[in-house]
Structures are given as C-alpha cells and as structure tokens.
Structure 1
C-alpha cells in the first residue's frame, strides 16, 4: 500500500496578507538601513526638493543627497546646496553660474534650471553641499509621513504589523500521525 500524502493546510487570506506585510516591512527596513549606512560612510546629507526651480533635473518631491565640500572645490555648472541669503530659513539647491574667490572668500552666483533669471543675491560661502544623487518621489513620501494624516497612516501600518505578528502568525496544529489510520485487529497466536 502506498504511503498517504500529507495534505498541506490551506492558507487563509489573513496568512497571505500577513506574509505580504512582513515581506514589505523587511524590504523597507533593509532600504532604510542601507540608506543610513551609505549616508554615514560617505558623509552624505539628504534634502527634499520642495520647489520646481531645478526641474526637470531635480523634480519636486525628490530626495537629493549632497556632500559638504570647501567652496573652492566646486566649479561653474555644478549643482550646490547652500543656506538661503535672503534672510529666510532653509536651503537653496541651484546651479552655479559664476564663481569668484578673492582673499579666501568665495562668492557664488546661482540660478535654478527652470528659472528665467539668476538668484538676486550672491552667496558668500566657505563650504557648500555638492550634489551627489537624487531619488525621485522619495522626498514626497518623507514629507507626507510628517503630516497628521501621514502619522496616522504610519501608526495604522505599525498596528497592523503588530497584529499580524501577534495574532496572525500562530502555527496551525499539525495533524496527528494517527489521524485517519485504520486499526488492525490483533492476530491470534496459534
């Protein structure tokens, strides 16, 4: 008689949803860890693009990375990130149109690729953020996570993840080896 094949237990929608959620979370975790490690090792800083002044090169909502370098290390045509000179807070990421260094003082003239005119004020700097790379859309996600609706979405996601871990991953009871086995009557000894 051929041995009986064990039937696999049917997977529920809860199980598949839990597996997808845990896999997605693991992927996000790895991406976050790698990004933080790369930024730390290479001295990179992230900035979110919030205006269209550098489109199409740097679309609104992109996450850009820059490395702080001496102002003398950049040249005309480079994309740099510098503190605002108009009294506002924040940073400006534009392209260098003119650079002059006199007596150890570096002055930059910048212009956004999408702007018709150059920035009105020059930037007197000793160091700048030299553009390294961009991840489109990632900045939008980062900014959205800081809004009340984003915080609620993240909290809901975490609650669902905890629910899956605590309640949804319980192992189904393995079927008994004796289940379904037929009994053989004892044989009388002669």
Structure 2
C-alpha cells in the first residue's frame, strides 16, 4: 500500500470516529422539560383562596355587614346633627293620647322651630310652659299679644281628643311646628333606652365585632408563594 493510500485511509477513519462521538453526545443529552406555567398556578391559588370554606366566607360577610351598618349609623347621626343645628329640626315623643287619633300615644313627630307669626289655625305646635313640660296641641285661635313684643302671639290650643281647649292661651314668640309624625315609634325608642336593652346591645355588638375581626389561622399566616421544584 502506497503512502497516499495510507493517508486516505487514516482520514476516513478519523471522520468515522468524529461521527460516532457526535452520535453518542446526542443520545446522552437530556430531553427538555416543559416550563411550568407559574401564572396559571398563581391564578389557581388565588381562586382556591377566594373560594375558601364556609367559615371565612361567613366571617367576611359579617364583617362587611357590620362595617356597612356602622357607616350608615354614622351618616344618620351626622344628618341628625346637621338638621338640628342648621334647620332647627328635632323630635318630639307623645306620651299621652291627647292628640289621638291623629297622633296617638307612643308616636314620634318631627318638629321645626318657626316664629309665632308664621303659625296658622290648624297647625299642630309644641309650646314651652314655664312650670311644666312642653305641650303639643292643635292651634284653634290666634290673637295678637298687646302686652308683648311685636312678634309675640296669643295661641289657643286644643288636643284633638280633648273636649275643650286648654285653660289659657299661650303667649309665645316662637314655637315648634309638627312636620310629620309616625305612630308606635316612641314605644320602640323607650324599649331601646331601657338599661337591659342597652346592656344586651353593648354585649352583643362587642361579641360580634370581636368574633368578626379576631384573626384566624388562615389570616394570621401569609399565603405561600408557588415555586419551581428542583
């Protein structure tokens, strides 16, 4: 065999060896694993947290209800204060039935302070009495008060359920006129103002707020973040 033939044979053997090595490396390379979809896992985790067991859902609903009721109560208090300060509007509770059946005993009326000069016959007004509680009756007669200031009036009042008018007219410069009334509300207000009702309400609200905002095992620990296993 000539020298040139030997060199040709060595080149062919070298090429065959390189091909065998490339084939072996290709077979040993691991298959590519699919990348986990972390966003889908996060969404699934959030969905599972939102769709928690019945107790967390109930606790969340009660908490939202308590906050909503408290907010509404605050708004009502603010509106009541604003009405009393800026519009001279207050409430009057009827303890007797002298204005029945129009305004029975136990009713509550919304009244507004007005000058006596604006009162007309037929209005139901509340007037102050020096040595007694205020009286709320219907105006049946209006006379000028010659012995008082120009804005003063002599009002003769009579209860709808009374057979006669009040014994003497009232000399007033201003009264509280009834705007609207609602029967039986006064009874509920009296019951709510009793010591037993106030104590029971305080205990109930305190227990409800404590149970609602007390941390649970689910809320005390932060949720674990999804990771990629090695």
TM-score using structure 2 length: 0.63
Question: How many Å separate the matches in 2 of 1:150 and 1:98?
Answer: 43
CA contact (8 A) 2:93 2:186 kept: yes
Deviation track 1:10-59 (CA, whole Å, cap 9, x = no partner) reads 35234433332332222122112112112211122322222222234334
Q: Higher relative CO (CA 8 A, sep ≥ 6), structure 1 or 2? A: 1
Secondary structure of 2:106's aligned partner: coil
Change (3 A) 1:25 1:146: same
Whether 1:91 aligns to 2:119 is no
- Output the aligned Cα RMSD: 3.1
CA contact (8 A) 1:18 1:169 kept: no
Change (3 A) 1:157 1:28: farther
Query: What residue ranges of structure 1 are gaps of 5+ in the alignment?
Result: 186-190
Matched positions, count: 180
Mapping for residues 12-91 of structure 1, pairs under 5 Å: 12=55, 13-84=58-129, 87-88=131-132, 90-91=133-134
Question: How many Å separate the matches in 2 of 1:109 and 1:171?
Answer: 70
Question: How many Å separate the matches in 2 of 1:47 and 1:61?
Answer: 10
Larger Rg: 2
Displacement of 1:171 in angstroms is 7.0
Displacement of 1:166 in angstroms is 4.5
Displacement of 1:61 in angstroms is 3.4
Query: What residue ranges of structure 2 are gaps of 5+ in the alignment?
Result: 1-35
Change (3 A) 1:122 1:17: same
Q: Which has the higher helix share?
A: 2
TM-score using structure 1 length: 0.74
Change (3 A) 1:75 1:169: farther
Q: What is aligned with 1:124?
A: 171
CA contact (8 A) 1:65 1:134 kept: yes
